[in-house]
Structure 1
Amino acid sequence: MAVDYSLYLITDRSFLKGRSLKSVVEEAIIGGTTIIQVREKNISTREFYKVAMEVKEVTDHYKVPLIINDRMDIAQAINADGVHLGQDDMPLTIARKILGKDKIIGISAGTLDEALEAQRDGADYLGIGAIFYTGTKKDIDTPIGTEYLKHIYDSINIPAVAIGGINETNFKEVLSTGVDGISVISAILGKEDIKYAAKMLKL
């Protein structure tokens, strides 16, 4: 599957302000979002399944890839397009055995060593970051910045999206490194006009 990673939205229901996740995801896709990751912390498996199924209705309709964060069981249960795994999650080689060769597996990388290991183990893409300080990841000590992002990206040969503190004021600087896309949460979900926010990140 050829995947367009250019505008990668990660869901976070804390930004919804009463709006439905389904409608927000649809607005984001209409605005130009090319791939969706459902990320849920601290909810039951049943609730995660329900949320993921609702989002899948939208992504299936618009033929946009759906990635599930961490939870391979949820990804399998709803037949999502793939999973995104962090450095503390299931090892990539085991995940590949479980999910098969046709599913997308993305890996978070914050160093060149992590990026090269993920590539060697067969990752389909990388999420590199955090690039800048971000409110959604409280445990990040020091952002890696765009220079190191470029260094990592120039050293790999698989697609990569940059993540962490990216918004409408700095996304062009990030994209100037050559990365395949930007990954955002609040830069879209934190705005009143979701469609317009997504569109502004494509200019």
Structure 2
Amino acid sequence: MKEVNLQYISQGKTPQEHLENIEEVCVAGCKWVQFRLKDEDMATYLHTALKARDICDQYGSILIINDNVGVAKAAMADGIHLGLNDMNPREARKILGDNFIIGGTANTVADCMQHIQYGVDYIGLGPFRYTTTKKKLSPVLGSEGYKAILKEVSKNSKIPIVAIGGIVEKDISDIIKTGVSGIAVSGMLTNQEDLEKKIQNIKIQIAK
């Protein structure tokens, strides 16, 4: 799995806004997009995912679909991201095959170990702090939470772990010091000025 250090989780009030925001971050150099469209009918979800696929193809970006295995397969995405209450990653693997990237959300050591057992390719661990983009928020971890969880998980696995949830630019340095592989962000890259410079700066901080 290439360039798993900065993932953009799509945001927007309409499907079209999601697509516009995805294209903006891809143009600016983000190579890893999670398409996360909520509260839409299946036809709209798939139609928009297919357009997101076209955008990501144009800029050489990885496309991950949030939650919906059927849409991920039909849209020929690169992968799927599954929440704790979504389909079991093993079942998703049976449907999607070995070439799909499967990511899973985690909040605890037990969540991480379960995902590793189920064979996910990366873990989205969080939330770092309170965020308004998720309705049912798990307990906030902060830097100390990440350190404690990664200390335990790293004894058994080298799986990439990505920090997620309410992250702002000034947090990045401290978060990376906890041992995570990268970050997943939404608001930090949505409707921002000088987006290309911002993404370059984020990548530099992650690579330190």
TM-score under structure 1 length normalisation: 0.90
Deviations along 1:123-173, one digit per CA (max 9) or x if unpaired, are 100000001111212432531111221232342321111001111121111
**Partners of 2:150 and 2:24 in 1: how far apart?**
30
The alignment of Structure 1 onto Structure 2 pairs a total of residues equal to: 200
5 Å-filtered alignment, 1:109-188, equals 109-140=106-137, 142-154=139-151, 155=153, 156-188=157-189
| Residues 35 and 63, structure 2, Cα contact 8 Å, conserved in 1 | yes
**Partners of 2:194 and 2:135 in 1: how far apart?**
26
5 Å-filtered alignment, 1:30-41, equals 30-41=27-38
Deviations along 1:14-61, one digit per CA (max 9) or x if unpaired, are 3x8x98443432331233322101001100111111211111111112
Quick one: which amino acid aligns to residue 171 of structure 1?
I
CA distance 1:190–1:138, shift in 2 (3 Å): farther
5 Å-filtered alignment, 1:98-109, equals 98-109=95-106
| Residues 12 and 21, structure 2, Cα contact 8 Å, conserved in 1 | no
TM-score under structure 2 length normalisation: 0.88
| Residues 107 and 138, structure 2, Cα contact 8 Å, conserved in 1 | no
Q: Runs of 5+ in structure 1 lacking a partner?
A: none
- Residue 4 of structure 2 corresponds to 5
**Partners of 1:199 and 1:19 in 2: how far apart?**
26
Quick one: which amino acid aligns to residue 76 of structure 2?
N
Cα displacement (A) at 1:78: 0.9
Decide which moves more: 124-133 or 145-154.
Answer: 145-154
- Residue 70 of structure 1 corresponds to 67
* Identical positions, percent: 34
Q: Which is bigger in relative contact order (C-alpha 8 A, separation at least 6)?
A: 1
**Aligned-pair RMSD on alpha carbons?**
2.0
Give the 3-state SS of the residue equivalent to 2:34 in structure 1: strand
